[in-house]
């Protein structure tokens, strides 16, 4: 069995034994079985509990040996001193995939936790059985309506595979689910980030891979594998434990070795990984890689509702290495025809004088302006700056977004929208599936920068001179 | 008349002459008069238009001389070559405050625009009449249901006074209105940021002053005045035109001198101004200064739902100079009583093992934990990290937020919340009026950093040795 095949037992199980499920159900009880039933997991479920005949209408079994089949997966949620014996029971039963949810192993402050962790590793060594955890939410697979986390989460079948060192990511961020498919490696006593990477590498349902890590024992092996995966699909990484004080906190969380932050920066970049600095940047970059194509260059063209916010957007582009191009003469000629005579037309292109002074309809200035900007050969990406002062204004933009996607699919086109109706306008604009709207130009420019960096990485592989 | 009194004619007019109002009304016509009527402006309105007897039921006057009173304010929205003569009419009528909305002056690319700007300045010199603009949205005052902008905006009587070089700010940012009271200085031919600062300095309805500027001719005078204002109320500044490419765009926007970005940084800090880098940071800092008290020091205590997100928050605190304190022994003792024996208790304090392993109710671990953390003498501010996995969970937090505000009003307490129900949870938490919730720990820590910097600035004034 390859590592990726073994991982399928965790990610796509047909049957699950849930060991240590409580009879207590309802709010505040964090009952795994109740969650799995609630999601509508279609596989077979076997709660193991010596004190109950059934839980939530599902027949329970007093011990692992009594299970009517060798399940694909076993979940262990028992006090830590009972875990080793149960792992042994699973191995004897022939179960090949175990999630140990229980905390208090390498993450504990005492010697006993470390000893228990060594003990479970020794039990499975050479048996073909593998362990995810301990101290983990386990796995989630939205396409299978399955999550082993004791907190009930919201899943969506987004094409994102997340490898994480905290179950917190299962909950998702604002506007974005990380559990498409997700794996929490926890204390990573056996299954590591590398195993998970190899699963997502071959998984056709995963278009973008996200890694949250606090550090790892074998960074060299990780970098070798992640580079291979990054050639096939975008890999985004949030490496935490960056400061001395947070690195100390990592010790009590997963016991991982955080390593030098500067070295991580260099190594991840070299491996073609998109390193993000925080969760907001992570969410934005994920959305960008799911929706937009990486641009062929850093040239950007801006159109704007107000000169002042155009300059704010220009600052943001400068900050993130997107270059405001000098428009070519045919572009300028077209834009001048939309503007008052006295206006110094350039990049950013201010649409408003054409509306308020020349008297053209706003949508005409916008659409024609964008057409000229996107046609400019030095423009590789475009940003439109709009004031979201009306909840319905997004609708007028739909035809021009569709036109941009048809005529220039290779040029990512994004919005920076500000104002009280941002959320409604964003939803409308993004309903096209070909653009994204951001509430700040920094976030828009940063997302484009990450797309650009990936295009650059891929280009270097085919032409090493292009460094 | 003092400069601040003169500014009251602009900000609190009892009567307005709207010169150049069109007969066209409805969507897409950007009719100033229609907007003012729509807001419910309680003052007297006099449209001036030689071709209409009435507009929207309001009697019009053929020219300024025919107006039945000397209005506090006149708005000019006419083609640029008609503006000079109209300014002269206003001066002759005795009107002391004029907003020139028209574009195409210093912001134009041609010599004619610059000439016209000199001309209007010459007309008002020595007359006691002052001009706001040209190229401006004018003014807004939510408490008076008044905005002179041709785009209809949403106003809220927030205690914020905004001085801006773009009307874009009148529209507001997400979740936040900049027009409480707002002034767009536009090309700033006469009234400058300094005049506006002096108005907000004495205005009791303004608790926080926001400045958006692309640059100015007399930075020395500005810095002298802004320092004086900053001693009385928080002043936040967004200085744009930071990069060479955006500075070029400023030339076609307002013709302002952008200046060295590094020098601005130093000068603003020295003057006690909170400089923000982008609009998201601006919105966050505004909310912080409106809601929270500046902390006495940089020491922060964290409590968290998951170890992983606690470390993410610790990274963010490190990035923005908030120091994770070592908890004192009584604090640790209290937190240990809420945790499993094996847990290494520290900062951040992870509440979940107390819930999932010790079996305590979540709200008890949270509330008692926060009580210990806030009582720690080296903690000057607290952040709680929560997963917003349920839309109603904010309600459970209300008693502990109230307790924190009562027992430690001097220690700002904020949330970093992540997850699909962020918005609902944020609204509930913030309904207390004493805390803020942020969707990333960077934004939470950055807002605390700005509060801290202000406390530090004020402390230095009373004790210059405290530098």
In a domain, A467, yes or no: no
Query: What pLDDT, on a 0 to 100 scale, did the predictor assign at position A306?
Result: 87
Q: Number of C-alpha atoms within 13 angstroms, CB side, residue B326?
A: 3
Instruction: Give the residue from A117, A178, A312 with the most B CB atoms within 10 Å of its CB, the best one to mutate.
Output: A312
Residues A270 and A353 in one domain: no
**What is the model's pLDDT at position A464?**
59
Q: With contact defined as beta carbons under 8 Å apart, do A240 and A246 qualify?
A: yes
Domain end marker among B288, B310, B332? B288
- For A247-290, the pLDDT digits (tens) are 777 777 776 667 778 888 889 999 999 999 999 999 999 999 99
Task: Examine the domain organization and report whether B362 and B239 are in the same domain.
Answer: no
Query: Cα–Cα–Cα angle for A406, A409, A410, nearest 5°?
Result: 155
Least CB–CB distance from A214: residue in B153, B311, B439: B311
Report pLDDT for B31.
92
Residue B422: per-residue pLDDT: 93
Global ipTM: 0.88
Cα–Cα distance for residue pair B131/B100, rounded to 1 Å: 7
Express each pLDDT in A43-64 by its tens digit: 999 999 998 899 999 999 999 9
Contacts of B463 (CB under 8 A, 6+ apart): none
- Token representation of residue B189: 């031919």
With respect to residue B143, please indicate whether it lies within any of the assigned structural domains.
yes
Taking alpha carbons only, the member of B381, B382, B393 closest to residue B426 is B393
Phi, then psi, of A85 in degrees rounded to 5: -60, -35
| CATH code for the domain of A411 | 3.40.50.261
- Condensed to tens digits (0 to 9), the pLDDT of residues B131-151 reads 999 999 999 999 999 999 988
pLDDT of the residue at B219: 86
Q: Averaged over A342-359, what is the pLDDT?
A: 92
Report DSSP letters for A221-261, one per residue.
HHHHHHHHHHHHS-EEEEE---SHHHHHHHHHHT------H
Domain with A326, as residue range(s), is: 294-462
Specify burial of residue B140 (Cβ count, 10 A radius: 0-12, 13-18, 19+): buried
pLDDT value, residue B465: 58
Interchain pair B306, A167: CB under 8 A:
yes
In a domain, residue A15? The reply is yes
Domain stops at, among A239, A263, A288: A288
- Which chain B residues are closer than 8 Å to A142 by Cβ? none
Distance from CA of B23 to the nearest CA of A (A): 14
Tokens matching residue B432: 């207390």
Q: Which of A162-171, A287-296, B117-126, B220-229 has the lowest mean pLDDT?
A: A162-171
Q: Which of B379, B227, A445, B309 is nearest to A436 (CA)?
A: A445
Phi then psi for residue A102, to 5 deg, are: -50, 140
The pLDDT tens digits for A141-175 are 999 999 999 888 888 899 999 999 887 788 787 77
Contacts of A324 in chain B (CB under 8 A): 245-246, 249
Coil, strand or helix at B259: coil
- Tell me the torsion sign for CA atoms A74, A79, A84, A89: negative
Whether residue B318 and residue A246 make contact (CB cut-off 8 A), yes or no, is yes
- Which pLDDT does position A444 carry in this prediction? 98
Per the model's pLDDT, the better-predicted residue between A393 and A428 turns out to be A428
- Do B327 and B259 share a structural domain? no
Do A314 and A282 belong to one domain? no
**Residue corresponding to tokens 């968290």:** B304
Last residue of a domain, one of A235, A256, A288: A288
Does B467 fall in a domain? no
pLDDT for A109 beyond 80: yes
User: Looking at beta carbons, which residues of chain A come within 8 Å of B423?
Assistant: 174
What is the per-residue pLDDT for B467?
47
> In terms of domains, do B127 and B213 share one?
yes
B192, B197, B199, B204 alpha-carbon torsion, rounded to 10°: 160
pLDDT at A161: 96
Residue B225 sits in the same domain as residue B369:
no
CB pair distance less than 8 Å for A420 and B241:
no
> d(Cα A178, Cα A169) in Å, to the nearest integer?
6
* Overall number of domains in chain A: 2
**CB-closest option in B315, B344, B420 to A246:** B315
Q: What mean pLDDT do residues B78-95 have?
A: 97
Q: Which of A104, A238, A318 sits opposite B243 (nearest CB)?
A: A318
Same domain (yes/no): B107, B188 = yes
Closest listed residue to residue B303, CA positions, set B281, B330, B337, B335: B335
With CA atoms as reference, the chain B residue closest to A313 would be: B246
Q: Quick one: pLDDT at residue A133?
A: 94
User: How high is the pLDDT of residue B439?
Assistant: 93
Any bridge partners for residue B19, and if so which?
A: B48, B76
Q: How many CB pairs under 8 A join A and B?
A: 268
Tell me the three-class secondary structure of A282-295, residue by residue: HHHHHHHHHHCCCC
Q: Are residues B278 and B412 in the same domain?
A: no
- Which segment of A239-243, B31-35, B224-228 scores lowest on mean pLDDT? A239-243
Q: Confirm whether B394 is domain-assigned.
A: yes
- Sequence-distant (6+) residues with CB within 8 A of B76 are B19, B20, B83, B86, B87, B90, B98, B99, B100, B101, B102
The CATH code of the domain that includes A200 is 3.40.50.720
Same structural domain for residues A98 and A119?
Answer: yes
> Do both A29 and A151 map to the same domain?
yes
- Are A245 and A380 in the same domain? no
Q: What is the pLDDT of residues A384-405, one digit of tens each?
A: 999 998 899 999 999 999 999 9
Partners of residue A323 on adjacent β-strands: A299
Measured between CA atoms, the residue of chain A closest to residue B186 is: A308
Residue B178 has pLDDT above 80, yes or no: no
Percent with pLDDT over 70 in chain B: 98
What is the average pLDDT score of chain A? 92
B109 pLDDT band, cuts 50/70/90, is confident
**B208 plus B300 within the same structural domain:** no
Give pLDDT tens digits for B387-429: 998 899 999 999 999 999 999 999 999 999 998 899 999 999 9
Average pLDDT over residues B269-278: 93
Hey, are the CB atoms on B249 and A311 less than 8 Å from each other? yes
What is the per-residue pLDDT for B455? 95
Q: B173 forms bridges with which residues in the sheet?
A: B176
Share of chain A above pLDDT 90, in %: 77
Beta strand A323-324 with A299-304 is: parallel
Give the residue from chain A lying closest to B242, CA to CA. Answer: A315
Q: How many CB atoms lie within 10 A of CB B87?
A: 27
């Amino acid at each position: 069995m390859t590592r990726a095949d073994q991982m399928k037992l965790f990610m796509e199980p047909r049957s699950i034994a849930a060991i240590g499920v409580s009879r207590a159900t309802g709010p505040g009880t964090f009952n795994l079985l109740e969650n799995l039933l609630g999601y509508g997991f279609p596989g077979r479920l076997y709660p193991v509990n010596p004190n109950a005949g059934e839980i939530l209408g599902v027949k329970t079994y007093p011990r692992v040996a009594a299970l009517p089949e060798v399940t694909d997966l076993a979940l262990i949620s028992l006090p830590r001193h009972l875990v080793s014996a149960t792992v042994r029971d699973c191995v004897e039963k022939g179960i090949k995939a175990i999630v140990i949810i229980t905390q208090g192993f390498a993450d504990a402050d005492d010697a006993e936790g470390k000893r228990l962790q060594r003990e479970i590793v020794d039990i499975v060594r050479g048996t073909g059985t593998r362990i995810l955890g301990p101290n983990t939410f386990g796995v989630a697979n939205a396409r299978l309506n399955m999550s082993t986390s004791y907190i009930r989460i919201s899943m969506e079948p987004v094409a994102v595979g997340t490898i994480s060192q905290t179950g917190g990511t299962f909950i998702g961020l604002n506007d974005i689910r990380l559990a498409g498919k997700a794996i929490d490696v926890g204390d990573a006593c056996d299954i590591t980030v590398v195993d998970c990477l190899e699963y997502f590498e071959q998984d056709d349902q995963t278009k973008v891979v996200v890694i949250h890590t606090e550090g790892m024992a074998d960074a060299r092996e990780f970098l070798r594998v992640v580079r291979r995966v990054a050639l096939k699909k975008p890999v985004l990484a949030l490496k935490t434990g960056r400061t001395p004080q947070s690195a100390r906190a990592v010790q009590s969380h997963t016991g991982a070795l955080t390593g030098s932050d500067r070295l991580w920066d260099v190594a991840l970049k070299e491996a073609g990984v998109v390193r993000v600095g925080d969760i907001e940047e992570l969410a934005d970059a994920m959305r960008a890689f799911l929706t937009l194509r990486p641009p062929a260059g850093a040239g950007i063209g801006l159109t704007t509702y107000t000169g002042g916010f155009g300059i704010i957007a220009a600052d943001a582009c400068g900050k993130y290495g997107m270059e405001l191009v000098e428009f070519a003469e045919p572009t300028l000629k077209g834009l001048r025809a939309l503007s008052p005579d006295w206006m110094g037309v350039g990049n950013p292109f201010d649409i408003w004088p054409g509306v308020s002074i020349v008297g053209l309809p706003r949508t005409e200035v916008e659409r024609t302006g964008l057409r000229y900007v996107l046609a400019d050969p030095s423009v590789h990406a475009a940003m439109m700056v709009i004031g979201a002062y009306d909840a319905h204004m997004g609708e007028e933009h739909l035809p021009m977004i569709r036109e941009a996607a048809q005529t220039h699919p290779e040029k990512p086109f994004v919005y920076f929208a500000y104002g009280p109706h941002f959320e409604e306008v964003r939803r409308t604009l993004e309903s096209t599936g070909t653009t994204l709207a951001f509430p700040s130009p920094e976030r828009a420019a940063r997302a484009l920068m990450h797309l650009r960096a990936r295009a650059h990485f891929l280009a270097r592989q085919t032409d090493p001179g292009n460094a």
